[in-house]
Amino acid sequence: MRSLDAEMAAHVQRAAEAVGVRVLLSVDVEEICAHADGRPRSVKTSVGELPADHVVLSTGVRPATALAQAAGLALGPTGAVATDAQQRCPSADGVFAAGDCAESFHRVLRAPVNIQLGTHANKQGRVAGTNATGGRVEFPGVVGTAVSKICRYEVARTGVTEREAHAAGLRVASSTITARTRAGYYPGAGPIWVRLVVDPIDGRLLGGQIVGVEGAAKRIDVLASCVWNGTTVGELEFYDLAYAPPFSGVYDPLLIAARQATNLLDGGTRR
Amino acid sequence: MRSLDAEMAAHVQRAAEAVGVRVLLSVDVEEICAHADGRPRSVKTSVGELPADHVVLSTGVRPATALAQAAGLALGPTGAVATDAQQRCPSADGVFAAGDCAESFHRVLRAPVNIQLGTHANKQGRVAGTNATGGRVEFPGVVGTAVSKICRYEVARTGVTEREAHAAGLRVASSTITARTRAGYYPGAGPIWVRLVVDPIDGRLLGGQIVGVEGAAKRIDVLASCVWNGTTVGELEFYDLAYAPPFSGVYDPLLIAARQATNLLDGGTRR
């Protein structure tokens, strides 16, 4: 679960273990062994041989660029097809690229990325089609928002993780809070964790991660809009977010997280 | 349901009627009649007498300002206690006001309002307490976000309705879309309606209303952040919102709504 920082990924691991999944990390897969008829039988690993009825490989994705390269299109630094904001290939006049094979501009990293998501592909395809047919519209980039449902949790992220920020040479501070998804007295509440990744000098939100039994998926979109706009945690702390007991406590978990991050940056001196 | 424009309120009315509630609008209440022991018996109205076991009056709220007025504090144009952004009463040095009795600055109307919500009261109380004890922090205002659960629907709003915009003399255009809360093939999807209220000249989002079986409550917070920041529907249309089949179609209902509003403003000419 490298899309989250380790502290947040641990919640997902525990949720998987709670339904009986045995999670082995940092284990090398050495061989996938099959029955005579081709069905999987076991997986040999650095911690021994494990019986297996099914084997699912989930080892990441790479853009399929063979066609583009054969056509002489330039690839960008990520290995995907380079485009400008109109989805034009700078290397070939009149050629457009969009979707999983193409780069996107990341608004936090200020650099091209290759993220394979249907949301980006759809928007880019529309931009490419519009410009190819005489319109003029620009794709303004991405902030790396993604969400999954894993066991009992909604798992969501946007912007950059602390690890990604470090890798990109960004100055970074992080702060995580635990809250409840509904007012304390309202039935059906469950845990929700919110982690904010912040520029420690100006307080801009660089990323966010949310794991929770409900409400993580759509809450991440508020953080995505903050990351998109360079909103500071000091601003977010006062946002006029919706409150009713079935949906949050009077301070939404996002506001609690923003306040803790603000206090952290202030060294607790402001208030 | 005057917190919504009539078109959106109609969904709430139908949901109430679907569970057996008889909704009578524009009917005058003439008398509440009681049994000899004081228990309610009926309500006399302009369309006849209706039997009643319980009578609930929900006629709005007014700030309780008797104490403030007795103390010589000035009220603002809304009839609530006037304060500055630090929650100080300009009319009395060293006195602060916060919560349901006090005015808030509305960021769209650019005018004081008196909205009785726990979220505002909590934040204002913290601001008042901070400033009263030697700190310095400002309450940046409100955008009128609110959410309820009514029968099968989550009902949410932020900013101004079209009616409120008209009443305030704002130029305004509105656009409503119908979408589904999950990917088409994913079980458990239901309807969601999103109405955007927009400045027709510059495309700024002035308000939003959402009614849906799920996901309305937290989606309104994205619109609240847009209204807060003066984001245009053209910008919102490209926001990098989360997508996975349990949570939305590949185009989130908010993005569909923003696109329709953008097309409306463009007169369909841009693309």
Identify the pLDDT of residue A267: 73
Q: Do B240 and A119 touch (CB under 8 A)?
A: yes
Q: What gap in Å lies between CA A37 and CA A97, rounded to an integer? A: 42
Residue B179 has pLDDT above 80, yes or no: yes
Q: Do B241 and A224 touch (CB under 8 A)?
A: yes
Q: Do A147 and B240 touch (CB under 8 A)?
A: no
Residue A162 near residue A172, CB atoms below 8 Å: yes
Identify the pLDDT of residue B270: 47
Residues of chain A contacting B130 with CB distance shorter than 8 Å? 271
Q: Do A239 and B250 touch (CB under 8 A)?
A: no
Identify the pLDDT of residue B271: 41
Q: What are phi and psi of A92, to 5 degrees?
A: -150, 110
Residue B215 has pLDDT above 90, yes or no: no
Q: What gap in Å lies between CA B264 and CA A266, rounded to an integer? A: 45
- Report strand pairing: A191-198 vs A173-180: antiparallel
Question: What is the CATH architecture of A73-132?
Answer: 3-Layer(bba) Sandwich (3.50)
Per residue in A167-205, pLDDT tens?
A: 999 999 999 999 999 988 899 899 999 999 999 999 999
Closest CB from A118, A123, A217 relative to B247: A217
CA atoms within 13 A on the CB side of B223: 34
Report which residue type is found at B240. D
Query: Which positions ≥6 away from B152 have C-beta within 8 Å?
Result: B15, B18, B19, B213
What are the sequence ranges of the domains in chain B? 72-132, 146-266
Residue B89 near residue B101, CB atoms below 8 Å: no
Per residue in A210-252, pLDDT tens?
A: 999 998 888 999 999 999 999 999 999 999 999 999 999 999 9
Q: What gap in Å lies between CA B129 and CA B141, rounded to an integer? A: 17
* Nearest of A202, A204, A220, A208 to residue A162 by alpha carbon: A208
* Pair of tokens at residue A209: 């991660």
Residues of chain B contacting A252 with CB distance shorter than 8 Å? 221
Residue A268 has pLDDT above 70, yes or no: no
CA distances to B155, B156, B160, B186 from B219, rounded to whole Å, are 11, 9, 16, 19
* Nearest of A2, A28, A29 to residue A163 by alpha carbon: A2
Residue A34 has pLDDT above 60, yes or no: yes
* Nearest of B204, B257, B216 to residue B4 by alpha carbon: B216
Identify the pLDDT of residue A1: 87
- Report strand pairing: A153-159 vs A146-150: antiparallel
Cβ count within 10 A of residue A216: 27
The chain-wide mean pLDDT, for chain A, equals: 95
Per residue in A196-215, pLDDT tens?
A: 999 999 999 999 999 999 98
Residue B132 has pLDDT above 70, yes or no: yes
Q: What are phi and psi of A16, to 5 degrees?
A: -65, -45
Q: What gap in Å lies between CA A266 and CA A264, rounded to an integer? A: 5
Stated as kind and residue range, the H or E segment containing B14 is helix B6-18
Identify the pLDDT of residue B217: 83
pLDDT band for position B184 (cuts 50, 70, 90): confident
Q: Do B139 and A229 touch (CB under 8 A)?
A: no
Closest CB from B135, B242, B250 relative to A221: B242
Q: Do A139 and B238 touch (CB under 8 A)?
A: yes
CATH T-level topology, domain B146-266: FAD/NAD(P)-binding domain (3.50.50)
Cβ count within 10 A of residue A105: 17
Report which residue type is found at B87. Q
Q: Do B148 and A244 touch (CB under 8 A)?
A: yes
Query: Which positions ≥6 away from B260 have C-beta within 8 Å?
Result: B175, B177
The nearest alpha carbon in chain A to B223 belongs to A222
Of all residues in chain B, the percent with pLDDT exceeding 70 is 99
Query: Which positions ≥6 away from A258 have C-beta within 8 Å?
Result: A196, A233, A234, A236, A237, A239
Residue A269 has pLDDT above 60, yes or no: no
Choosing among B105, B150, B186, B225, which should be mutated to test the A contact, i.e. which has the most A CBs within 10 A?
Answer: B225
Residue A114 has pLDDT above 60, yes or no: yes
Q: What gap in Å lies between CA A110 and CA A142, rounded to an integer? A: 10
Q: Do B240 and A217 touch (CB under 8 A)?
A: no
Q: Do A242 and B147 touch (CB under 8 A)?
A: yes
- Can you give the C-alpha Rg of chain A in angstroms? 22
Closest CB from B235, B242, B271 relative to A156: B242
Size of interface A-B (CB pairs under 8 A): 145
Q: What gap in Å lies between CA B37 and CA A254, rounded to an integer? A: 50
Residue A271 has pLDDT above 70, yes or no: no
Stated as kind and residue range, the H or E segment containing B164 is helix B162-167
* Pair of tokens at residue A248: 């949050």
Residue A68 near residue A100, CB atoms below 8 Å: no
Per residue in B143-165, pLDDT tens?
A: 999 999 999 999 999 999 999 99
Domain boundaries B72-132, corresponding CATH code: 3.50.50.60
The nearest alpha carbon in chain B to A134 belongs to B271
Closest CB from A123, A154, A222 relative to B225: A222
**Are B72-132 and B146-266 the same fold in CATH?**
yes
The chain-wide mean pLDDT, for chain B, equals: 95
* Pair of tokens at residue A243: 């409150």
Per residue in B6-55, pLDDT tens?
A: 999 999 999 999 999 999 999 999 999 999 999 999 999 999 999 999 99
The nearest alpha carbon in chain A to B150 belongs to A246
Closest CB from A242, A251, A270 relative to B145: A242
Measured CA angle at B67 (ends B66, B71), to 5 deg? 115
Stated as kind and residue range, the H or E segment containing B44 is strand B40-45
Q: What gap in Å lies between CA A243 and CA B157, rounded to an integer? A: 11
